[in-house]
Amino acid sequence: WRKMAAAETQLMLSVGLIERDTNGDALWVWCYPSVGPELRELLLGKCCLTRESLALHTFVFGQFRRTWYYITTAEVQEPTGLQKVTHFSIVLTAKDFNPEKYAAFSRVLCRIYIKYSSPVKMMEGYIAVLTKGICQSDENGSFLIKDYDVRKAYLAGSIKDVVFQFGMETIILYTALMLKKRIVVHHPRIEALQEFTRALPALTWHRKDWSILHPYVDLNNYELEALQMCTGYVAGFIDPEVSNRSDLYDVYVNLPDSEIRISPQAKVSEAMTMGKLHKDIGQLIVQAAEDADRTDSQVIKDIAVKTREILTNLASLAEESENSKITLETLRQRRFPPATENFLYHLAAAEQLLQI
């Protein structure tokens, strides 16, 4: 267990503190061990204490260049030793995606800060988790890193909710994810955005890849530059302006209006052509999700079994070909319906099974 805890704790990168004072100014006041200037700038911008709207967001998370950040914000209720501070945010950065784990840990850190009004005590808690995987205190609650398995984090989003909202159109999302396309999701409420986007990578469970998730992106150059370096992604935006940025997406999801649209670019619409295979998978997804007795993880498993079947067929086609790679010719000989052939060709490319 110790060894596992050690591996787990090495995922944490830093803890930081942002405070808003009685004049309404929000400042980065402290961090341990350190946060580079570019990332610090970004984190300040993501913290609700510096944003125009006065809405308080107790917990937000996102990713920037493979660093995950988790921001928990609290209002200071009188009386404490925190003079002139009205609100503060605890900012954790880490290498792993695990919102529940870091939300729980920051809640403990918040209570410690409110009680002692000093970052030193927070640093002690942080170091305790870093070295022992546990932060224990009677009145401030305990945090145990081993309670937060990464698979739990992967399964915490609800695929059933996604299907409930989009029905058969979920197949568009499945296809886009399978082909490593760029999905942009818009919703004005950050919590709704995060809840929806975090569920999507589960549609391609065989990859268990949540690094494609960027749930909280603003339309500024350095965030967009970082995003555009990724092959495929699921990116969330609260700014409705993103709908005009067709250079950023292959599939655009307007959450408030339950609309999904495929980019009209020829290259994209060709790869995303739907046929009988898609219809079959779509029906399987909808039937599994609508079954009240099936849990989210069972639905994910049902989809994964179907995906595995497709990938196994693809792999056996590859094995029959020279250098174990698929060519368009290999697929043509099989006389698949055009949409199926097209999907398998692009899937082979995404899974690196294509002869180039």
Contact 207, 321 (CB under 8 A): no
Going by C-alpha positions, the residue among 240, 211, 204 that lies closest to residue 226 is 211
Do the strands 259-262 and 26-32 form a parallel or antiparallel pair, or are they unpaired? unpaired
- In total, the chain counts a number of residues equal to 356
Please state the domain extents for the chain. 1-152, 157-269, 276-351
Tokens in use for 123?
Answer: 């640093």
Q: To which residue do tokens 């409930």 refer?
A: 164
Distance CA 291, CA 134 (A): 39
Q: Which helix (H) or strand (E) holds 29?
A: strand 26-32
Angle between helices 170-178 and 276-290 (to 10 degrees): 120
Contacting residues for 156 by C-beta, under 8 A, at least 6 apart = 99, 100, 198
Q: To which residue do tokens 């995922």 refer?
A: 11
For residue 95, which amino acid is it?
A: K
Phi/psi of residue 55, each to 5°?
A: -60, 140
Going by C-alpha positions, the residue among 285, 11, 260, 46 that lies closest to residue 130 is 11
Q: Which helix (H) or strand (E) holds 233?
A: strand 233-237
Sign of CA dihedral 286, 288, 289, 293: positive
Residue 48: Cβ within 10 Å count: 21
Contacting residues for 96 by C-beta, under 8 A, at least 6 apart = 11, 68, 150
Instruction: Give Cα 234 distance to the centre of its chain.
Output: 7
- One of 3.40.718.10, 3.40.50.2300, 3.40.50.11500, 2.60.40.10 is the CATH number of 157-269, namely 3.40.50.11500
Contact 188, 256 (CB under 8 A): yes
**Eight-class DSSP state of 149:** -
Within this chain, domains 1-152 and 157-269 share the same CATH topology = no
Instruction: List per-residue pLDDT tens for the chain, 356 residues long.
Output: 455 555 666 799 999 999 999 898 999 999 999 999 999 999 999 999 988 777 889 999 999 999 999 999 999 987 778 888 999 999 999 999 999 999 999 999 999 999 899 899 999 999 999 888 888 776 667 888 888 899 999 999 999 999 999 999 999 999 999 999 999 999 999 999 999 999 999 999 999 999 999 999 999 999 999 999 999 999 999 999 999 999 999 999 999 999 999 998 878 888 899 999 999 999 999 999 999 999 999 999 999 999 999 999 999 998 887 788 898 888 999 999 999 999 999 999 999 988 87
State pTM to two decimals. 0.94
Contact 70, 59 (CB under 8 A): yes
Check if CATH label 3.90.320 holds for domain 1-152: no
Which 3 state secondary structure label does DSSP give 19? strand
